[in-house]
């Protein structure tokens, strides 16, 4: 099951690396990654992620991303069957 | 460097180097003391520091600077600051950053970096310290424009201290540090207003408490961090609910308090582990269900519902589902809970009986030094001013089990990371921060060698830390595991060729003496605590002595292995 995460992050040094590093370290594969610059000094990032094992909780991942400094908004999205 | 500093000084007052601006920021942020070690890329900052009112403590290894800054943060609640040069200086900080991250210590680390023009070219002493430290910092910056320094500094201090504290890294390229800029505009620090408590969640928590028959108050390090000690004690006392503590929660409820059943977990007290196992409600305050505390999660507190109160929403449900979660101000939450005392008399009686039945004994046979008794005695002799700065190993667990702690900030220990080498630099920082405290470094013959060079720092600044070195001539905790779980296949734990630690300390100019027999313990404690300057007591203990009780790895907390003095 791939879950989508849409977020807006600061366009600051390390911000993307911080985000994707966290997702992988917390036990999720990243299957999809799209990014585009926003006009407001931010970047919109869409991730498709898949838990590495059954012990990983998607909601907790969302909150871990949310607490990163420089993550302006996060919406944890749909499930997509693969 | 001289030419450059002269250059800075003849500029009109409002023009400063980036480094000068950074020092000014430190002063405006109220920093009095920083720990660091200079080198090429950070020289502009050292140039600017020299003329400032900030006290710089020159450690002898950058790891010690990071540990000291972490302990400064834990001791004072202010942000601790450490400084290192680029490359090896910066990489030497990493263990300290990880330590501060795991244990939520407020800290700012400033690293020099090669000039921006050569960043990314494998320049001399260049490492991507931002990239290397991403998983072990709360946030990080590379400063590319000196004009950004005031904003970055104010933000970094705010981030380090707010909510759940943690370390922030600021990487400062040399050209940015040297460039002249206008004296910046310092944004007023944002004092984030604590979010309103969720009244519905608080009410739900209160209903759980009133309905519970066997509640346990589960006290974590977050209580001290949130300044919620008073609220916790008041809540405990008006409800009578039995309390247990994690390693970092020790002291939030004084360990001598009748309701405190002890530490839980791998080396916890049997009464504490049993209470958690039998509980029907855990009121978890500022704790994160660390595996050393919970043992096997699927057998942990099997019949308990959970109220989880924490500043960090990301901890809710990470390892154990909570029926009620309250994120926000811990003290304010506790003040609203337990409005009437639940009727739990028989549960209280049962937990008290278990506490009495499993109380530690200190009458070990023999004339050799019994470390648990020594640790209990020194903490009692030092009284409410006692601060333990622990290293990692058996001695750390004995300290947690047997010392008397009357406040949460009295117990400095590398809990989450378990980093040997923490004790001495942490003790030095704690004593510098609170000279009136009686700071005792509790260390082992393995751990002390990880940062023994800091004896020079204690000596140089006349820091009167008291070092209790428990020498079993082994890597004791590893030896214990090899004995119990690896068929006594002792592999690389022998330290019987240790140096003469008394002579080593004396060579650093630190007073030292040896304790080998039990009858020497009383006078030894007196001498150690009476010493005017830094002092080391080298205590010989039995290499075979183990930490008891013990939950074997992979087992539930209720399956504790026990101790009898004969097995020592
Ligand atoms: C930096 C680091 N390296 C290795 C370890 C693994 N380790 C944990 S306890 C221990 C032994 C510590 O020996 P000592 O300081 O003499 O304390 P004792 O257990 O004998 O009291 C070791 C090697 C660690 N925790 N930290």
Note down the domain range covering A65. Answer: 2-80
What is the rounded CA–CA span in Å between residue B252 and residue B228? 8
Q: Least CB-CB distance to A64: which of B130, B138, B314?
A: B314
B400, B420, B471: which to mutate for ligand 1, most atoms within 8 A of CB? B420
Sheet strand arrangement including B511-515: B411-412, B386-390, B438-444, B466-471, B535-540, B511-515
Q: Which two tokens stand for residue B90?
A: 């910066």
pLDDT at residue B12, as a whole number: 47
Measured on CA atoms in the order A52, A56, A58, A60, is the torsion positive or negative? negative
Chain B contact for A78 (CB, 8 A cutoff): no
Pocket-forming residues, ligand 1, beta carbon under 6 Å: B 391-395, 418-421, 444-447, 470, 472, 474-478
pLDDT at residue A80, as a whole number: 53
B98, B442, B447: which to mutate for ligand 1, most atoms within 8 A of CB? B447
Domain count, chain A: 1
The string of pLDDT tens digits covering residues B172-189 is 999 999 999 887 777 776
Find where tokens 């007023």 sit: B188
Angle at which helices B2-10 and B43-50 cross, to 10°: 50
pLDDT at residue B155, as a whole number: 96
Q: Are B260 and B243 in contact (CB under 8 A)?
A: yes
Helix locations, B295-359, DSSP H = 330-335, 345-357
Q: Which two tokens stand for residue B204?
A: 């739900």
Task: Please name each of the domains of chain B with its CATH number.
Answer: 7-187 (3.40.50.970), 199-357 (3.40.50.1220), 371-540 (3.40.50.970)
The string of pLDDT tens digits covering residues A20-76 is 999 999 999 999 999 999 988 899 999 999 999 998 999 999 999 999 999 999 997
Ligand 1 centroid from CA B387, angstroms: 21
What is the rounded CA–CA span in Å between residue B169 and residue B147? 18
pLDDT over 70, % of chain B: 96
- Predicted complex: ipTM over 0.90: yes
pLDDT at residue B521, as a whole number: 98
Nearest residue of A to residue B144, measured between CA atoms: A13
Under an 8 A CB cutoff, do A25 and B135 touch?
Answer: yes
The residues, ordered by sequence, that sit 6+ positions from B336 with a Cβ below 8 Å of its Cβ are B197, B202, B206
Chain A residues with CB inside 8 Å of B159's CB? 69
The string of pLDDT tens digits covering residues B438-450 is 999 999 999 999 9
Nearest residue of B to residue A71, measured between CA atoms: B139
Q: Least CB-CB distance to B313: which of A13, A63, A70?
A: A63
Chain B residues with CB inside 8 Å of A66's CB? 313-314
Q: How far is A60 from chain B (nearest CA, A)?
A: 6
The CATH number that applies at residue A9 is: 3.30.70.260
Residue ranges of chain B whose pLDDT lies below 70: 1-13, 189-192, 564-568
Q: What is the pTM of this model?
A: 0.96
Q: How far is A65 from chain B (nearest CA, A)?
A: 9
pLDDT at residue B173, as a whole number: 98
State the burial class of residue B439 (Cβ atoms within 10 Å of its Cβ: 0-12, 13-18, 19+). Answer: buried
Strand-strand pairing, A42-51 and A28-37: antiparallel
């Amino acid at each position: 099951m791939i879950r989508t995460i849409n977020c807006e992050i600061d366009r600051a040094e390390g911000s993307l690396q911080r985000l994707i590093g966290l997702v992988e370290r917390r036990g999720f594969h990243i299957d999809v990654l799209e990014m585009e610059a926003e006009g407001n000094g931010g970047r919109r990032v869409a991730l498709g992620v898949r838990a590495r094992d059954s012990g990983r909780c998607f909601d907790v991942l969302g909150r871990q991303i949310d607490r990163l400094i420089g993550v302006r908004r996060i919406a944890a999205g749909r499930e997509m069957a693969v | 460097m001289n030419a450059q500093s002269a250059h800075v000084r003849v500029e009109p007052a409002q023009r400063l180097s980036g480094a000068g601006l950074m020092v000014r920021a430190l002063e405006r942020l109220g920093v009095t003391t920083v720990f660091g070690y200079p080198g090429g890329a950070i020289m502009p900052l050292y140039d600017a520091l020299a003329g400032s009112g900030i006290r710089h403590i020159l450690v002898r290894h950058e790891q010690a600077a990071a540990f000291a800054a972490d302990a400064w943060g834990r001791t004072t609640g202010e942000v601790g600051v450490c400084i290192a040069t680029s490359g090896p200086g910066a990489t030497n900080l990493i263990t300290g950053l990880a330590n501060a991250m795991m244990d939520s210590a407020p800290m700012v680390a400033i690293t020099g970096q090669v000039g921006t023009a050569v960043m990314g070219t494998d320049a001399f002493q260049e490492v991507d310290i931002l990239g290397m430290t991403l998983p072990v910092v709360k946030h990080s910056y590379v400063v590319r424009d000196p004009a950004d320094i005031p904003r970055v500094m104010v933000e970094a201090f705010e981030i380090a201290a707010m909510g759940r504290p943690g370390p922030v890294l600021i990487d400062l390229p040399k050209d940015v540090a040297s460039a002249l800029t206008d004296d910046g505009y310092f944004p007023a620090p944002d004092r984030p207003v604590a979010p309103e408590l969720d009244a519905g969640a608080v009410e739900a928590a209160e209903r759980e408490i009133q309905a519970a028959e066997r509640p346990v108050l589960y006290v974590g390090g977050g209580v001290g961090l949130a300044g919620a000690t008073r609220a916790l004690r008041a809540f405990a006392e008006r409800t009578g609910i039995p309390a247990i503590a994690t390693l970092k929660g020790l002291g939030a409820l004084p360990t001598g308090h009748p309701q405190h059943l002890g530490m839980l977990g791998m080396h916890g007290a049997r009464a504490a582990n049993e209470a958690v196992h039998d509980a029907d409600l855990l009121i978890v305050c500022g704790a994160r269900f660390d595996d050393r505390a919970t043992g096997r999660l699927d057998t942990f507190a099997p019949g308990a519902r959970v109220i989880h109160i924490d500043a960090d929403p990301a901890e809710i449900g990470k390892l154990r589902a909570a029926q009620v979660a309250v994120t926000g101000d811990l003290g304010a939450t506790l003040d609203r809970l337990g409005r009437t005392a639940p009727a739990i008399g028989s549960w209280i009686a049962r937990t008290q009986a278990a506490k009495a039945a499993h109380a530690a004994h200190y009458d070990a046979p023999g004339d050799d030094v019994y470390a648990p008794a020594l640790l209990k005695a020194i903490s009692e002799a030092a009284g409410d001013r006692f601060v333990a700065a622990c290293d990692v190993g058996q001695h750390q667990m004995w300290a947690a089990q047997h010392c008397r702690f009357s406040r949460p900030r009295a117990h400095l220990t590398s809990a989450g990371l378990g980093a040997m080498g923490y004790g001495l630099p942490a003790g030095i920082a704690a004593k510098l921060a609170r000279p009136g405290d009686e700071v005792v470094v509790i260390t082992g013959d393995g751990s002390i060698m990880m940062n023994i060079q800091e004896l020079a720092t204690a000596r140089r600044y006349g820091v009167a830390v008291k070092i209790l070195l428990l020498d079993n001539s082994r890597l004791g905790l590893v030896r214990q595991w090899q004995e119990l779980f690896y068929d006594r296949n002792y592999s690389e734990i022998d330290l019987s060729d240790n140096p003469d630690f008394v002579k080593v300390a004396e060579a650093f100019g630190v007073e030292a003496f040896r304790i080998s027999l039990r009858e020497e313990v009383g006078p030894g404690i007196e001498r150690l605590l009476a010493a005017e300057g830094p002092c080391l007591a080298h205590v010989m203990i039995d290499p075979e002595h183990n930490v008891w009780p013990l939950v074997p790895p992979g087992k539930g907390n209720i399956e504790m292995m026990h101790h009898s003095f004969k097995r020592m």
